Structure 1
Amino acid sequence: MLENLRTLGRVVRTLATKDPVTRVRRFYEIQSPDVEFAARDTRYMNFGWWEDGVTSIDVAGEALAMQLADAAGFKPDDTILDVGFGYGDQDFAWLRDRRVSKVSGINITPRHVEHARQRAEREGLAERTDFRLGSATTLPFEDGTFDRVVALESAFHFHPRSAFFAEAFRVLRPGGVLATADIIPLDGDTARMSIRSGPLSFVKFSIPDENWHDRAGYADQLTGAGFANPEVRSIRDHTWDGWRRYQTARPGDPAFQAAVDPGVVKGMANNWRDQELIKKEIGLLDYVIAVAHKP
């Protein structure tokens, strides 16, 4: 019960925040990591790439990170900028499995940055990583620094995303690639504020109006930033329903029940109770991987 009250207090504080950047930072401080990652092996924060037989958000989260790396065309010796990197699990996976040369990261949430830095030190990767506190719309790097810029389920927060596109174009080398895994509406005429279910409340409270457009609008903004040949591909069939099934089942998982307070379990079960509404609203949302090239 105490943790639920603390969470409610953080929700109220977040919703009362006027500054959009501070609001997003506080959004990612609402849930205690001890609850968010209870009975889990990783700290992936994305919705995941779900194939038949996958039941673990840890497996699905890493699979989505690898889908993004493949879309961006990661090669050994690439220098990568990961914008909005969360706790950085994907960055360590890319260093391990894609053997990229170096990953830099920008994030507005201090505890995310500190966690990633500490992990890099523990794993002897401090020289191949550079995790910084900063904004996606004013990147603290020189022009032409990176081979790839990526944003794994974070760009929908950026205020506005078009400013991030312009900054990504600036810091990429000629021939470089921007790739995002992102959340947008299937139809740009869908009213963002009409989303009412608890699990999808982030749509109302942490996506700016400027970022609420469909695939065609997304491609237009990439072109407007100077990118060539943008491709915005829906992968919604591999994301939303697998995530919904995992989260719906989580309160009944004995390992989760053993790891958190009973009030947390009850609160999560209540949040996911209205499955018909959740399914209906998921049906209004797209999930895309977008790729664009700097000439």
Structure 2
Amino acid sequence: MDPATPPQAPAPDHRADHRAELRRAYATGELAGLPVFGGGFINFGFWRGIPLHGPLSAEDRVASQAALYDLVLDALSPTGRSTLEIGCGQGVGALRVLLRAPSRCAGVDQEPEQVGRARLAAPEGEFAVGSAGALPFGDGEFERLLSVEAAQHFDDLGAFAREAARVLSPGGRLAVATFFAADASAAPELSRLLATFARGLDLPHPIGGFLDRLREAGFGDVAATSVGEHVWRGLDRWLELGPAPERWDRNWLVAAERGLLDYHLVTATKPAGSGV
């Protein structure tokens, strides 16, 4: 380097910022206690069948979040007797899994505090600390894998896809529900509109890229279904009418209407003839 050239400052560690935001949001348990969520769930909800023209109750909000889990479970094979949830949170999703199909249900979360809460909430489940890109389970252990509103936090969707393929048995089914960016060009505007993207809590993963990563990992029948019509307006109505709406962005509907992001149900199958 030319001695006359001043040394450059190191590039900002966005991964560290992201990790700090995850800790702040989930380790304390405060996020699940915000009125925008409720019932121990932490998702935007699936509002189909819930009238939006009148008042909304806390029971409506919890029902919308449970319905999102049901949507994902309906997309999985009903005969699977072993299920793994990535981003298990406080364990209420595992309770939903066990209610629908009493069987082996395991969960992984990056935050040890969340794993402790999940063990208390769903003692019949198996919960472990781990990341989506390094799952603490053996090859081919599970017939079904789900993730509800967690993939927007995953650092590396390719690593997640490879690990999902590894822990699923041949013929195993995957279902992921969350919001994805329309494409890479949407990232700057999403950061301008929504604080969770600006802070680095949520990552603007393009939906097309995620589908590519699943195919590269060996999955077949890869498909993405937009379910945003049953997510965004219900969420926005809740933020308008529900308690403490000022504590959460109302630009999600704006971003969706501008085509910057959408809520998707993504499904894929590990081919039956593939190795474990």
Q: How many residues align?
A: 249
The residue type equivalent to 2:42 in the other structure is M
Tell whether 2:238 aligns with 1:242. Answer: no
Q: What are the Cα deviations for residues 183-242 of structure 1, in whole angstroms up to 9, with x where unaligned?
A: 112344213454334xx322231234xx6213x322211101111120111111011111
Contact 1:226–1:294, Cα closer than 8 Å, also in 2: yes
Q: CA deviation at 1:34?
A: 7.9
Residues 143 and 81 of structure 1: CA distance in aligned 2, closer, same or farther (over 3 Å)? same
Q: CA deviation at 1:38?
A: 8.8
Give distance in 2, aligned partners of 1:151 and 1:159. 15
Residues 191 and 48 of structure 1: CA distance in aligned 2, closer, same or farther (over 3 Å)? same
Contact 1:234–1:288, Cα closer than 8 Å, also in 2: yes
The residue type equivalent to 2:187 in the other structure is A
2:195 to 191, 201, 209: 201
Residues 174 and 164 of structure 1: CA distance in aligned 2, closer, same or farther (over 3 Å)? same
2:46 to 49, 57, 72: 49
Tell whether 2:164 aligns with 1:168. Answer: yes
Q: CA deviation at 1:84?
A: 0.3
1:136-147 to 2 correspondences below 5 Å: 136-147=132-143
Aligned to 1:7: none
Aligned to 1:111: 113
Aligned to 2:246: 269
1:147-186 to 2 correspondences below 5 Å: 147-186=143-182
Name segments (4+ residues, structure 1) moved above 4 Å: 37-40
Gaps of 5+ in 1: 1-14, 252-264
Q: Is the helix fraction higher in 1 or 2?
A: 1
Q: CA deviation at 1:57?
A: 1.5
Give distance in 2, aligned partners of 1:218 and 1:34. 27
Residues 278 and 221 of structure 1: CA distance in aligned 2, closer, same or farther (over 3 Å)? closer
Tell whether 2:98 aligns with 1:95. Answer: yes
Name the SS for the 1:191 alignment partner.
Answer: helix
Bigger mean CA deviation after superposition, 110-119 or 225-234: 110-119
Give distance in 2, aligned partners of 1:244 and 1:38. 10
Alignment TM-score, normalising by the size of structure 2 = 0.81
Name the SS for the 2:192 alignment partner.
Answer: coil
Aligned to 2:263: 287
Give distance in 1, aligned partners of 2:247 and 2:214. 39
Give distance in 2, aligned partners of 1:82 and 1:237. 25
Residues 47 and 79 of structure 1: CA distance in aligned 2, closer, same or farther (over 3 Å)? same
1:217 to 209, 222, 235: 209
Give distance in 2, aligned partners of 1:150 and 1:73. 11
Give distance in 2, aligned partners of 1:65 and 1:217. 24
Residues 26 and 74 of structure 1: CA distance in aligned 2, closer, same or farther (over 3 Å)? farther
CA RMSD of aligned residues (A): 2.6
Contact 1:74–1:148, Cα closer than 8 Å, also in 2: no
Give distance in 1, aligned partners of 2:43 and 2:37. 17
Residues 82 and 213 of structure 1: CA distance in aligned 2, closer, same or farther (over 3 Å)? same
The residue type equivalent to 1:99 in the other structure is A
Name the SS for the 2:97 alignment partner.
Answer: helix
Q: CA deviation at 1:270?
A: 6.7
Give distance in 1, aligned partners of 2:160 and 2:85. 12
Residues 32 and 23 of structure 1: CA distance in aligned 2, closer, same or farther (over 3 Å)? closer
Name the SS for the 1:163 alignment partner.
Answer: helix
The residue type equivalent to 1:203 in the other structure is F
Q: CA deviation at 1:39?
A: 9.7
Aligned to 2:89: 86
Aligned to 1:64: 68
Q: What are the Cα deviations for residues 223-265 of structure 1, in whole angstroms up to 9, with x where unaligned?
A: 01111120111111011111111122123xxxxxxxxxxxxx4
Contact 2:232–2:256, Cα closer than 8 Å, also in 1: yes
Contact 1:17–1:23, Cα closer than 8 Å, also in 2: no
Contact 2:140–2:169, Cα closer than 8 Å, also in 1: yes
Give distance in 1, aligned partners of 2:114 and 2:247. 28
Give distance in 1, aligned partners of 2:103 and 2:33. 34
